[in-house]
Amino acid sequence: MRGSSMPVSQDAPRSSAVPPEVERSVCVVMHDVTGVTWPDCAKLLDALAEVAPYPATLLLVPEYTRGQAARRDARFCAQMTERLGRGDELALHGFRHHDDSPLKGWTDTLLRSVYTNAEGEFSALTERGARRRLEAGAAWFAHENWPLDGFVAPAWLLSPQSWQALERLPIRYATTLNRIVLLPERTAVLAPSLVFSARSAWRRAASHAWVDLVAARQSQAGIVRLGLHPQDARHPGIVLHWQRLFERFLKSHTPRTKAAVALLARHALEREHKASSSLTAGAS
């Protein structure tokens, strides 16, 4: 999402765990990265780099709703290749970002049109529709020789059919508002995302309080994601808040990309499964 909507949860994991190897990780995640938003994105990323060096996860939108197609912007693609060379991760963030599926009833309208500002692109797609967009995004990454490990749906909303489409593609993880979900098995690791809503003055004020509350609950343990949006860069108070939060988490957490956290989690869970299988076999 573009920092204009309040966070929505639509989690669909099959199990949950936080392996010790990935506890106390902080992931800096830059949402809505395209050619037209990149100046604001770069400003935010640079602001956090003033605190300390870190690897970021950049969520790329192939054809942004209100801008030119990033996948046909040679200059932007070159900039992303340069960021990849610096250690950042590039992940797929929907395809157009805009939810253009038909609305069904007032509750559907409230969630998808009002609450999320029509940003939940994958919230109501069929499996065929979701797979077509996912494959188009993956083809862009392949054309640019970018590795593709992760997918984040706009507004973190995924229909059941979209989850099925993800399971059929070579994508290693997806994220919801509160979890990193390993694919295709959907094993989930708790990893709440902190996010500001810059849509209005009252939303910004509420976001400051909410972000601090969630941050306090995650300050001593666990994985936390700092979900930056381009609009944040236009509000100095939000930029400063992000810097202070990042500085606070660096005292107890290690900065990692989401791909690195997902890989560590998978290895830890595989070892746990093998150990459990060995104990079961020994007991029998």
Q: Per the structure block, which two tokens stand in for 90?
A: 């590039």
Q: Per the structure block, which two tokens stand in for 189?
A: 């690791």
- Each residue's pLDDT, cut to its tens digit, for the chain (284 residues) gives 444 444 444 555 555 556 666 778 999 999 999 999 999 999 999 999 999 999 999 999 998 865 568 888 999 999 999 999 999 999 999 988 555 655 565 455 445 454 555 566 888 799 999 999 999 999 999 999 999 999 999 989 898 999 999 998 999 999 998 899 999 989 998 898 999 976 666 677 777 888 888 888 776 668 999 999 999 999 999 999 999 999 999 998 999 999 999 999 888 888 877 776 666 666 65
- The vertex-272 CA angle with 266 and 277, nearest 5°, equals 125
Q: Do the domain assignments include residue 200?
A: yes
Q: Do the domain assignments include residue 66?
A: yes
Residues forming a β-bridge with 224:
26
48's CB contacts (< 8 A; 6+ apart) are 28, 54, 56, 226, 228, 242, 243, 246
Q: Do the domain assignments include residue 197?
A: yes
- The vertex-135 CA angle with 129 and 139, nearest 5°, equals 150
Nearest to 126 by CA among 102, 90, 150: 102
Q: Do the domain assignments include residue 26?
A: yes
Q: Per the structure block, which two tokens stand in for 62?
A: 């192939």
Q: Chain centroid to CA 22: how far?
A: 17
pTM: 0.86
What whole-number distance in Å separates Cα of residue 45 and Cα of residue 54? 10
What whole-number distance in Å separates Cα of residue 157 and Cα of residue 227? 15
**Is residue 64 helix, strand or coil?**
coil
Q: Per the structure block, which two tokens stand in for 121?
A: 């692109």
Question: CB-side exposure of 57: number of CA atoms within 13 Å?
Answer: 28
**Is residue 107 helix, strand or coil?**
helix
Q: Chain centroid to CA 124: how far?
A: 19
**Is residue 245 helix, strand or coil?**
helix
| Residue 254, domain CATH | 3.20.20.370
Q: Do the domain assignments include residue 8?
A: no
**DSSP class of 84:** H
Between strands 179-182 and 173-175, the pairing is antiparallel
- Exposure string for 31-61, b = 16+ CB within 10 A, e = fewer: bbbbbbbbebbbebbebbeebeebbbbbbbb
Domains in the chain, number: 1
Q: Tell the residue number behind the tokens 């994220």, with chain if given.
A: 175
Q: Do the domain assignments include residue 161?
A: yes
Q: Do the domain assignments include residue 2?
A: no
What whole-number distance in Å separates Cα of residue 198 and Cα of residue 237? 11
107's CB contacts (< 8 A; 6+ apart) are none
What does the pLDDT read at residue 37? 93
In terms of residue numbers, what domain contains 122? 15-283
Q: Do the domain assignments include residue 3?
A: no
- Exposure string for 184-204, b = 16+ CB within 10 A, e = fewer: eebbbbbbbbbbbbbbeeebb
257's CB contacts (< 8 A; 6+ apart) are 27, 55, 56, 57, 88, 89
